[in-house]
Amino acid sequence: MSRVLTVLIVCAGSALGGGLRYLMALWAQARGWTSFPWATLAVNFVGCFFIMLISTIAARRTMGTDLRLFLTTGIMGGLTTYSTFDFETTQYIHSGRAPMAALYVAVTLVACFGAGLIGRAIVD
């Protein structure tokens, strides 16, 4: 299959994942669950579960590359990028590289939090 078609497949999955994320936010708001980011926690939890489930199935059984990309990079990526962070960290741990996993977690948390503070400071 052509690379352009694969990109379109990922884009379609991303649109679905983004739509699901928005619907989860609306659902949580409708219930008055606004004192804690429950919707974000829920999509991150669901995304981490499903990206690992799908990736493990893909590694152990026959799953086409386009289907795997549609489900993981597409839907789960549109739903939450935290699932990719979880997958990459888990891969480090699974391959016996726990120090690299710890470094990745620490750098990601510090760098991303810092980037957010800088972005806000620019506007403030």
Which pLDDT score, from 0 to 100, does residue 1 have? 62
Q: What is the mean pLDDT of each run of 10 residues along the chain (124 residues)?
A: 92 97 95 89 90 90 92 94 87 96 94 89 86
Which pLDDT score, from 0 to 100, does residue 11 have? 97
- For residue 56 the two structure tokens come to 């493990």
Which pLDDT score, from 0 to 100, does residue 14 have? 97
Please state whether the predicted TM-score (pTM) of the whole model is above 0.75.
yes
- For residue 75 the two structure tokens come to 């839907």
Gap between the Cα atoms of 37 and 42, Å rounded:
9
